[in-house]
Every structure is written in structure tokens, then in C-alpha cells.
A and B are shown apart, each in its own frame.
Chain A
Amino acid sequence: MNVVEVENLSFSYGDDINAIDDISFKIEMGAYTTIIGHNGSGKSTVAKLLIGLLEPLKGNIRIEGVPLSLENLDFIRSKVGIVFQNPDNQFIGSTVRDDIAFGLENHLVPQKDMDDIINKFSEKVKMKDFLNSEPSRLSGGQKQRVAIAGILAIAPDIIIFDEATSMLDPQGKDDIKSMIMELHNESKITIISITHDIEEVVKSDKVIVMNNGKIVSEGTPDKVMVDKKLLIDVGLDIPFSMKIVEELRKNKIKINDEVTMEGLVNKLANLI
């Protein structure tokens, strides 16, 4: 079943050229999709459109079959959660506890259920010991974990990560990436991650490549991420293992395309 269906979507920030130019795509339930593209390619605009923060110029968005419209906005936002790039600017409560409660209050969760939900999901993101902490005492990675807990607390079906790791240090990045993987493996939650991280892309089920507001390629990472010309043309990096494969071929070694480091090591281990 497709939980996200986007048809002929266009959007423009002013009279300028279209930030999103007639794109269509579908996302299956439970899939882990990454969206890549250089800065200004329209990735974040797509995320904002999906959650109804921007109104499309043309086209349709359906979430679980329900068209995104003003009347359905509350329903859509109970099904789709988003983690933004800047950890500081999405922490609304004055403590971790209050921040998780904020979403619950908005979605009319009864007061008597709140403590249990807050405890459960702060535990899930390993922030239970920090429930009474203020945001200024937390690291960027910890704040993003609280953001994830706040979303999980309203039991959504889809979570969008809008460059959620790009402002974090390596430790924070690893934390959030492994949390995304865990959510993907253990639950039916559909994940859409906008990212520049090639290592993350190759672990996803499907990748969508954007350039100048259009989708220029989409498919499984082992098909898309081996297209060196395309990636370079749209200003992206090619996976490290593909750089090695390229170089090996220059040295007349026959080897198949490979997008992960583990895969490459295994292939080379068989060659010796």
C-alpha cells in the first residue's frame, strides 16, 4: 500500500522559477526512503509540502489515501511527524517532559494518559534520565532525540527527517542514524529522510534524487548511487566504494558495482 502519493506537484516561493516543478512519486508503507540533492534543489520544500506547512501551486498530495487539504490538516499532522534540521528551534517546552507533552496537548491526548506516554517514549530514545532537563543543558543530538520522542508520542505512521543530522557532531549523527535504522527495523513506521549522507542513503530502501525542483532519478540505492555522471552533474558525492570500483577498473580489475563498504570488502576478499 502506498502511504504517500504525490501527483504533479508544483510550488513557487514567489514569481520566480518553480522551487518544485511538476513532481510525482509514491512511497510504500514501512519503506525507508532517502531524498538527496544539493542545497536549494527543493528537498526541504517537498518536506514542508508533505506536512502542509506550504500550500502547493498545483498538484495533489495524499497521505494514506486522504487528500491533504485545510480540512484534513489535523488528521495529516497526526499521521506525519517531522524532525527539522536545527535542534534548537524546534524545542518548544522548557524541559524535555514539557516538550514531549506539547504535541500530546495539541492532539487532545487526555491528561491521565500523558505521563505513561512521556515515560515510554523518553525511554525509547534514551532520554528518560533527562526528563526535567532544560534544552540549554542538552547536546544537539539529545535535542533531536527529544524531537523524535515528541513525534513517536503521537503515534504517527510516517516520520520525515529534514536534514536532521546535518548540524550534529559525529556522535550525535551516529545516534540519530542508528535510531532511524532501529525505527525502520522494529516498527511499521514509514521513514522519509532528506540527507547529504551517502552512508545513510546506501542503507535505505529507495532513493529519490532531486535537482532544480525536479526528480532526476529514483530507485534502489544500488541502482541509483552507481550512476557517477548523474551524481556529479547534480553536485553530489559518489559513494566511497564506487570511487574504489572506478579506480580498480582503471587498473583493469573486473569488479561489479558496489555501494557499501562491507560489500566491497567481501568482493575484494574473494579476489585474493
Chain B
Amino acid sequence: MSNMTFGKYIPLDSVIHKMDPRSKILAMLILIVAIFFPSGWIGYGVIGLCVFIVVLLSKLNIKIILNAMKPMMMMLIFLLFINTLVIKQGDLLFNIYGYTIYSEAIFQTLYITVRLFLMIMITTTLTATTKPLDLTLGIEDLLSPFKKIGVPSHEIAMLISIALRFIPDLIEETQRIMKAQASRGVDLKEGSFKEKIMAILSLIVPLFISALSRAEDLANAMEARGYSPGKERTRYKTLKMVFKDYVLIASSFVLLIAMIVLSRIYA
């Protein structure tokens, strides 16, 4: 459980932690768009450097971000394998019994890896420096202009904040049920295909039932405390942007424009 770093808030005292969640969310969105422009190695170098500076400012341990990459490793290896089969351009690097690997395949995989790495780095920095509740407040505020066209911004924000609140509980519950079934001889690693299906069912069904009963309890608790979707509420926390927030958003924009320009040149 403790090695689950992706999406976890890490309480530290830094300038990035203290920033308005709205500016952080906007900056994240702008940068992700920027990454989508094929701006070449120079472009990614520039974004990488900027993000790295932000990570340094946020006092986060770079290991945390590398850890968040771990679950992606299998996917990337698979991608590399597919690429070597499909892409037959560039220089021939290896030829092992007819299995050929071209430089372009390696290059393309590396390219995607870098993009993915940058995106994870940005989102992890956001979630690690922003409390779940602030994050949802930010999302709610950013969505509120769309209320007029029927977007339930408050409900979406509540949904996200409850999901975030219960993720640790559900992880704990999953581990508990896994151990309980392991005590009844369930072995996820060995056994026939049929046994594996049963093993997975023995985990999924109880987890689903417990999540449902939890949801019912929670709905009751919220209702009993006067909550009702769509009803007017006051707000405990309100967000306030200051100068540095505008600086963050503006710099992200500058980066985005730079990437667009670079991608034109590169093309």
C-alpha cells in the first residue's frame, strides 16, 4: 500500500503546495496539451527542464515520480516489442534469426516514453502537492462557468472528492479479502485457468458487495447530515488566486506557444 505513490498527496511545506489548485490544474492541462505537439527533443528538453524546476520547488523527492512510472514499465516494454515488429524504417540495428530491429522503432518508443514520463511527472506533481479536497474545490470552480449549460460542477467535484477519500479504505479492504481467501487456499499464482477464474471471483464478489454496503452507509450518513444533491450549500473554503498563480498560468502558456512554434520548425 505504501508504495502506491501515484495520485497520493504528500504534505510538505513548499511554494508549490501553497498555490491555488485552479492555477495548478490549468497549468497541468496546458502543459499536457503542449506535450502533444511534436516539438522534437529540444522541445521536450525545455518542458522537462521546466517541470524539473517545479518539482525541485515543490520539495518532492524525485524517487516518488520515478515510482509512479513503475506501473507503466510493462506497457512500455510491450510497446517496444510491438514497435519492433511494425516499424521497419531507419537503420537496421539487429538481425537475430530474421527478427529485425530498426533504429526508428527504438526511437519511436523512446519518444512515447518521454512524453508519458513528462505527463506522469506533471500529474504526480499536481496530486502530490494538492490536497484532495483542494483539488476538487479547484475542479468545481473551474467547471462552474459550464453550470449554465447543465454541467453539474458541484456534483462532479463531490464525486471526485469521495472517490479520493475512499481509495485507501478500498485498498485496505482488498488486501483483507485477499488474505481471508488465501487462508481458504486461494492461490492467484498457481493453479489451472478455471481455478484462477474462481480465485478472482472470490475476490471481486466480496469486494463489490462490501463497496455497495459502504456506499449505502455513506449515502445515509451524507443525507442525515443534511446533504442533498442540487441543494444550495455554503462553502467553508474559498480559493483565492495571487500573483504567483498568474505567473504559473502565464508561463505555461508561453511554453505551449513555444512548443507550437517548435513543432512547426520541426515539421
Interface, chain A (partner B; CB < 8 A): 48, 51, 53, 74, 77-78, 81-82, 84, 86, 88-95, 98, 101-111, 114, 135-136, 150-151, 154
Say yes or no: B133 contacts A95, CB within 8 Å. yes
Question: Contact residues of B with A, CB < 8 Å?
Answer: 131-133, 161-162, 164-165, 168-169, 214, 217-218, 220-228, 231-238
Known contacts A92-B165, A94-B164, A108-B233, A103 near B217 by CB under 8 Å: no
Closest 5 pairs (CB-CB, A-B): A106-B226, A89-B217, A90-B221, A101-B236, A103-B225
Q: Is there an interface contact between A84 and B217, defined as CB atoms closer than 8 Å?
A: yes
Whether B169 lies near A51 (C-beta < 8 A) is: no
Do A109 and B226 have beta carbons less than 8 Å apart? no
A105 touches B169 (CB 8 A): no
- Asked if A88 and B234 make an inter-chain contact with CB atoms under 8 angstroms apart, the answer reads no
A90-B217 contact in complex given A105-B235, A106-B233, A111-B234, C-beta closer than 8 Å: yes
Once bound together, how far apart are the Cα atoms of A93 and B234, in whole Å? 15
Residues of B within 8 A of A103 (CB): 225-226
Given contacts A89-B214, A94-B161, A110-B234, contact A136 B168 (CB under 8 A): yes
Name 20 interchain pairs, CB-CB below 8 A, sorted by A.
A77-B223, A77-B226, A84-B224, A86-B217, A89-B221, A90-B218, A92-B225, A93-B133, A94-B131, A94-B133, A98-B236, A103-B226, A104-B236, A106-B228, A106-B231, A106-B233, A110-B234, A114-B234, A136-B168, A154-B225
When distances are taken between beta carbons in the complex, the residues of chain A under 8 Å from B223 are 53, 77
A94 to B236, CA, bound (A): 13
Q: Which residues of A contact B165 (CB under 8 A)?
A: 91-94, 135
CB atoms of B236 and A105 under 8 A apart? yes
The CA-CA distance from A144 to B214 in the complex, in Å, is 16
Q: Which residue of A lies closest to B173 (CB)?
A: A88
Question: Binding site of A, secondary structure by majority: helix, strand, loop or mixed?
Answer: helix
Q: Which residue, A89, A90, A154, has most C-beta atoms of chain B within 10 A?
A: A89
Contact (Cβ within 8 A) B217 A108? no
Q: Across the interface, do A108 and B232 meet the contact criterion of CB distance under 8 Å?
A: yes
Note all chain A residues with C-beta closer than 8 A to B227.
102, 106
- Are B164 and A77 in contact, CB atoms less than 8 angstroms apart? no
Q: How far is the CA of A154 from the CA of B217 in the complex (A)?
A: 21
Say which residue of B133, B168, B217, B224 sits within 8 Å of A51 (CB atoms).
B224
CB of B221 within 8 A of CB of A84, answer yes
Q: Which residues of B contact A88 (CB under 8 A)?
A: 169, 214
Give the complex CA separation of A79 and B233 in angstroms: 18
Given contacts A53-B223, A90-B218, A103-B226, 4 further A-B contacts (CB under 8 A): A53-B220, A84-B217, A94-B133, A102-B225
Contact of A107 among B131, B217, B226, B238 (CB under 8 A): B226
CA gap between A229 and B95 in the complex, in Å: 89
Smallest beta-carbon distance A190→chain B, Å: 16
Q: Looking at the complex, which one of B214, B220, B221, B238 makes contact with A111 (CB distance below 8 Å)? A: B238
Contact indicator B224/A53 (Cβ below 8 Å) = yes
Q: When chains A and B are docked, how far (Å) is the Cα of A53 from the Cα of B228?
A: 12
The distance from the CB of A10 to the nearest CB of chain B, in whole angstroms, is 21
